[in-house]
Each structure stands twice: as structure tokens, then as C-alpha cells.
Amino acid sequence: MKKQIIALTLLLAFGAQAEEKGFKKIFNGKDLTGWAGPVQNYQAVEGTLRCKAGKGGTIYTKEVYSDFVVRMEILLPAGGNNGLAIRYPGRGDTAYVGMCELQVLDNTSPKYAKLHPAQYHGSAYGMFAAKRGFLKKPGEWNTQEVTVKGSTIKVVLNGETILDCDLSKVDKTKAPLAKYKGRTRTEGHFGFAGHGAAVAFRNVRIKRLK
């Protein structure tokens, strides 16, 4: 029995290592080395990357990515609001000049009760709405994986696919396409778009796709 437990433990460990193969940490847990933008508005706290309360702006990796998978853990305070900058050019509002901003939001907050459907957590801001109901309570850590391939984006939150969309197929009757000029970008930086809340991220790692 003991041998079987050991064998199972080794198998699970091997599987976890295989699953993480090719991923590279882009936040070292100590400081913002490798990041650009208004880095003074963020801080490293006990291994987490946190937006300072009342601060914001888009910080981004110095490296540029085309197709990639990024994994992380996210902790939202009550009423928290942030975003993932996808293929960001390094300046401007990523929701419009980047491929998109993927929302990071406390969907349960009363102040967000009347948002557009494509403004809730995991949504490609203003273009495609993510499924709701899979975020953990504010103050609890969520796991999230985002796959960006070509014009498509897939978001898996706590094991559930909440978004699987193709930005080349945005319904122009529902989104003013002229406003989202960056949605056809094929490469750019990855980043976090803070909006004044102390949202925290950890275990942020990325894998390039060929």
C-alpha cells in the first residue's frame, strides 16, 4: 500500500512538472525587474504583485509576445478592478490600442451591477462577454489561464472555460469596431491595467506558443 502511495505521488508530481513545461515566471516575487510602465504604482508584497490602492495605469513586460499561454493566481478585494493587457503596444489604453483588455473584476460588487455584459470578469472588454458565476469570494485566490492564439482568446477560471472567442468576428452591431483599433494586433507586451484597487497577482508565468 505504501509503495502504491509513493508511486501515485511521483506520478502526480511528474504530471504537474510536465504540465508546467515551457512556462517562464515573469514576476520574480521580489521586485518589478523585467517590467515597464508606471511600475511605481505597483509593489511586491510577500511574493505577490499588487496594485497600490488609489493607483493604477498599465505596467507591462519588457518582452513582446505573439501567441502565448499565461497562468496566474488572482486575489480581488471587495469592489476590485484591474485588467490583463493583451498584446499591448506600450502606451495608451490597452482596451482600445492593445488586442484587448481582459477584465479582472469583483462581479459581486453592487457598484458594478449595471455594467455592459462584456465588462465583467474575464470578458474581452466591450467585445465579448465572459460567463459569470465562477469567481471565488473577494479575498480568496482564483486560478486563471489565458490562451492567446492568432485572433482567438480563451480564458479558464478556476477550471471553468468562461470565454472562448475570436476577435476577428466581433459583431459590429454590438461593439463600435473603430474604437477597438488594436484588436487585430499580432504581437505586443503582456501586462496589468490597474484601476485604483489593490488587486494582487502571484505565480505569474507565461509560455510562448509556436
As a whole number, mean pLDDT of residues 46-63 equals 96
Cell of 59: 505596467
Distance CA 180, CA 102 (A): 13
CATH domain 24-208 topology: Jelly Rolls (2.60.120)
Q: How many residues does the chain have?
A: 210
Residue 12: its pLDDT value, please?
43
Asked if 132 and 185 count as a contact pair (C-beta separation under 8 A), the reply is no
Q: At 19, is the pLDDT very low, low, confident or very high (cuts 50, 70, 90)?
A: confident
DSSP-assigned states of every residue in 7-65: HHHHHHHHHHHHHTTT-EES--SSS-TTEESSGGGEEEETTEEEEPTT-EEEEEESS-B
Q: Is the dihedral of CA 202, 184, 90, 138 positive or negative?
A: negative
Domain spans of the chain?
A: 24-208
Using left for φ > 0, alpha for ψ between -120 and 50, and beta otherwise, residue 8 falls in: alpha
Distance CA 200, CA 140 (A): 11
Phi/psi of residue 112, each to 5°?
A: -110, 15
Q: What pLDDT, in 10s, does the model give residues 108-165?
A: 999 999 999 999 999 999 999 999 999 999 999 999 999 999 999 999 999 999 999 9
Q: At 6, is the pLDDT very low, low, confident or very high (cuts 50, 70, 90)?
A: low
pLDDT for 7 beyond 70: no
pLDDT for 63 beyond 80: yes
Q: What pLDDT, in 10s, does the model give residues 175-207?
A: 788 899 999 999 999 999 999 999 999 999 999
Three-class SS state of 170: coil
pLDDT for 15 beyond 60: no
Average pLDDT, the chain: 92
Count H helices, E strands: the chain?
A: 2, 13
Q: Is the dihedral of CA 26, 31, 35, 38 positive or negative?
A: positive
pLDDT for 11 beyond 50: no
pTM of the model: 0.90
Q: At 84, is the pLDDT very low, low, confident or very high (cuts 50, 70, 90)?
A: very high
Q: At 10, is the pLDDT very low, low, confident or very high (cuts 50, 70, 90)?
A: very low
Residue 16: its pLDDT value, please?
52
Cell of 74: 488572482
Going from the C-alpha of 128 to that of each of 4, 59, 104, 111, the distances in angstroms are 47, 23, 14, 21
Phi/psi of residue 132, each to 5°?
A: -105, 165
Q: At 3, is the pLDDT very low, low, confident or very high (cuts 50, 70, 90)?
A: low
